[in-house]
Each structure stands twice: as C-alpha cells, then as structure tokens.
A and B are shown apart, each in its own frame.
Chain A
C-alpha cells in the first residue's frame, strides 16, 4: 500500500524546504513545521478549459508561483473534457448529449496510451512538483474495465492513490479493484445529510473504512463543518486512516465558504493538532470563497494563513 507511515512522512517533511525567501523560489514547499502542505487543483478557477494544451503548464506555473510542491489533481485537469462528462453529478446525467459524452470519455480512457499520463507526470517532476493524489469521482457509470484503466492511469501519473467524491454504493464496487491494484481510495465528503449514500458524516466514512484497509479518508473540513460535524473529533479518531484534509473555511448549517479564519471551521486547531500529534496527514489548500483576485493570489493568501497558525 502506498500510503505513508508516520516515519516515512517525517522523512519527507524533514527533507522539504522550510524557509521562506529566495530558496522557496528554487524548491517548492512541501511542509510547514512538519505539517505536509499541498493543494487541490480545484483551487484554480481561472484555468484554460479541459483539453487545452495550456492547462497542465498553467497548473504547473501556478504551483511554482505559489511555491507549493504537491497536489491532488482533478481528473478534469488530466482528461480532455470537464468532469461533468464522466457522470459524477446526477443532474448532469439528465443533460442532452450526456450519454454521447460519457461514451466518448469511456472510449478515450480505454484507448489512451499510458505515455499520455507519464508525460504529464514528467512535466510535474521536471518542475520539482509531485502529483500525490489523483482525484477521480468514481460512480456507477464506470465499467469495470474503465475502473481498472483508471487505476493504471493513477500509477502512471505517479500518484500514491486516489481522492474520490464518490458514494457508498460505488465504494462497494471498488473493493476488488483497490485490493487487486493495492492502491488506496480516499473518500472525500460533501455535506449532503439527506442522501445516505453520500459521504457527509462520520458514520458514512466508517461504513467505507470497514469495507477495506485500502479505503481512506480525504476529510474536507469545510464541508464537514457545513454539515455540522466536528472535524477535530474525526481526526482524533481516524488519523490513521486519513490521507489528507481539504483545508477550507465554511460556516455551519450549510453556510458559505469564507476566507480562511472567517468561517466556523477550526482550521488553526486542525493544523496545530496535526503538527503537535505528528499525524502523517497532508493538508491540501482548497480555495473556493469569492474574490475578485486571481486564484493564485488567493491560494497564496490561504498559504500565508497556514504559515501564521503553524508558526
């Protein structure tokens, strides 16, 4: 299994550059005071469209400018069409032309050579960056062959595993795949508390974690708080099964995203808990509050907030 132990994680962050300043321009940041830092590429809201040849270079350039070395990259940033074409949003499946888009996506996935992915990996590595997680939203529109190919794609990208906005019923289907490929899938939550198939509560995570040791958690602490759950209690209980957290700040009661420090999410408490307990949990910034500034500027502001609370 490719998830890191606490000792391996310690080696990684010890080797990572910590200081700000000129050195940061040369070597991207991987950790702050022992806490693994990365970003979710969803944070970049102003990218070229899916399939545009400038897309990957722009992500790399943004990460270099921000100075963060590690990411969880969305399939919509890897594959040549937006994520909406691959069936995650139930509403999108009702759109005219969806079936054609979905069939096209499947054909592409089953025929694309692995060199497509290794070339992307090389672009990241040449820039001193790393794709740690491949964010694929597995769902019932995937065929088994497509699931297999997607695991192969993640390996070719150099990812340790997946983060996935999926559902419990799909997790059941994924059990033989994670065990055959020996690769983890970390379930990502939103805050739909009505649909029992969704990941939104501690119980929903625990249902999946019981299915396979290869199932992990990508805890989105903002969404978790918006669903009136306690992310600190979750991490204290499940730190050994949590790969990363998505760091965002939302208000309770399905409230909106806010700039870091202005919502109800205990970001500072979470980061300090992970630092003090030396949990091998990566903290990935996810920018989604409203702003007139560019995504790069706002992710920098998010990073500065984390630096302050971890100082």
Chain B
C-alpha cells in the first residue's frame, strides 16, 4: 500500500488485520481500538485502516455518528447515498475541501484500491448506522398506499406479495418484519448465488437511502392483507 499510509502503516495493517483475524478465531467478542471496532471481513478491515489512518474518524465519527468541526454527516449525506465503489467519494477525498472554515485535508496520494476500500467501509458503516436508526422508529404507523407505491418502484422487480412474500407478515411478527425488510441477510460478507449477491447489494443501497417514512410505509404495505 502507498498513498495515505505512512511507512509504518504497512506493518500496522498486517498487525491489525492479523490481530483481528486471530481475535475473531479465538472469540466472538470484538475489542474496540481508537478507530472503533474491527471490521467483520479482511476487505472491510482494509477500508477501516484507510479511514482511521487518514483521520476521517476524528471529524466524521468512528461509526459515522457525531460529526463535528463542521464535517458532513456521512450517515445522511446524499453524496454517499449515490456513490458506487468510490466514484463520488474518491474525488472529494483526493481534493479535500480547502474552503471550509476548518478545511478538510486533501488525500491526493490515495491509490484507487485504497479509495475503493475506504468507500466500501464508509458504506458498511452507513448501513450499520442506518439500520440502528431505522429500527428505533419501529413503533410508528405507516401509510400502506404510499408503501405500495414505493414497493412497486423499488422492490417489485424481485419481489411480489403474492409470491415470495406471501405470508411474510405472519412469519415476521412485530419489529421482525421491519428488521427483515431493512436487512434480509445479517451476513455482510460476499458469497452465495449471483441472485443473492445482487439482492444483498440492492438491499444495501436501499438501506442507505430509505427515509423513516419509506420504511414505515413499506412495512404497513407488507402487513396489509392481499387485495
């Protein structure tokens, strides 16, 4: 690795990744360090390394919450929602934001791989945080009609209430339906069939973009009996 990582960082990375892997092999408990919790996969841990060694966490938060010093709230930033593999994040990170009151530094030396790793980690953090945030809204009532409109625009290419989702409300009572809607799979690692991989990707994108009302409405639509 080059770019943002200073000479000792290569060693640090190896040690950190090795420690993370060793730790995960020995115990399911994860121990936080100054850059938050180790990521669940080696790929994401590479991204965490870029995120932390570039000091992103000081302004944007170790888990994207508590942005400070005028930094953008990455948990809700539309730019992050629209990013694919760093295509929007990369140019901002490389150029920095020198005209802010407290400027965001530029990172022109980041390699394309480091940008991709960084972006993957930011999306991972955002999905974790958005899941927590949207689950806290579980008691709210939604508008089933608006949910149907959302479903038809965003979900109907893969799902139908009369087919794969038949009886889904009964299978997932209470907050479980909301949880399943937000995150059909708990496994952040790649794998599975092409279809499940594509589904995971699409659900991840949706999770980054849902408004609280979107989720309330879709859940209300799924709970509504078939007409």
Contact residue among A89, A92, A293 (Cβ-Cβ distance under 8 Å from B34) = A293
Contact A89 B98 (CB under 8 A): no
A residues less than 8 Å from B16 (CB atoms)? 292
A64 interface hit (Cβ, 8 Å) = no
Contact A291 B105 (CB under 8 A): no
Contact A190 B103 (CB under 8 A): yes
- Once bound together, how far apart are the Cα atoms of A90 and B101, in whole Å? 8
B residues less than 8 Å from A84 (CB atoms)? 68-69
Question: Which of chain A's residues 219-266 have a Cβ closer than 8 Å to chain B?
Answer: 226, 250-251, 253-259, 262
Most buried by A among B52, B68, B70, B105: B105
Question: Which of chain B's residues 25-53 have a Cβ closer than 8 Å to chain A?
Answer: 33-35, 52-53
A126 interface hit (Cβ, 8 Å) = no
A residues less than 8 Å from B56 (CB atoms)? 290
Contact B103 A191 (CB under 8 A): yes
Chain B residue, CB-CB nearest to A256: B105
Contact residue among B35, B69, B101, B107 (Cβ-Cβ distance under 8 Å from A256) = B107
- The majority secondary structure among interface residues of chain B is loop
B residues less than 8 Å from A292 (CB atoms)? 12, 16, 33-35, 52
B106 interface hit (Cβ, 8 Å) = yes
Tell me, rounded to whole Å, the shortest Cβ–Cβ distance linking B8 to chain A.
Answer: 8
How many B residues touch A, CB cutoff 8 Å?
Answer: 30
Question: Which of chain A's residues 75-102 have a Cβ closer than 8 Å to chain B?
Answer: 82-84, 88-92
- Once bound together, how far apart are the Cα atoms of A192 and B127, in whole Å? 33
Contact A91 B70 (CB under 8 A): yes
A-B contact count (CB 8 A): 89
Contact B101 A194 (CB under 8 A): no
Tell me, rounded to whole Å, the shortest Cβ–Cβ distance linking B29 to chain A.
Answer: 18
Contact residue among A92, A256, A293 (Cβ-Cβ distance under 8 Å from B70) = A92
Contact B34 A45 (CB under 8 A): yes
Interface mask (B44-73 → A, CB under 8 Å = 1, otherwise 0): 000000001111111000000000111000
Contact B52 A89 (CB under 8 A): no
A46 interface hit (Cβ, 8 Å) = yes
Contact B57 A290 (CB under 8 A): yes
Chain A residue, CB-CB nearest to B53: A290
B160 interface hit (Cβ, 8 Å) = no
Tell me, rounded to whole Å, the shortest Cβ–Cβ distance linking B6 to chain A.
Answer: 5
B99 interface hit (Cβ, 8 Å) = yes
B206 interface hit (Cβ, 8 Å) = no
Chain A residue, CB-CB nearest to B54: A290
Residues on A lying within 8 angstroms of B by beta carbon are 45-46, 82-84, 88-92, 165, 190-195, 198, 226, 250-251, 253-259, 262, 288-295
Starting from the known contacts A255-B108, A290-B58, A291-B52, 18 additional A-B residue pairs (CB-CB under 8 Å) come to A190-B102, A191-B98, A192-B99, A195-B101, A253-B108, A254-B98, A255-B106, A256-B4, A256-B107, A257-B55, A258-B6, A259-B6, A259-B8, A288-B58, A290-B54, A290-B55, A292-B33, A292-B35
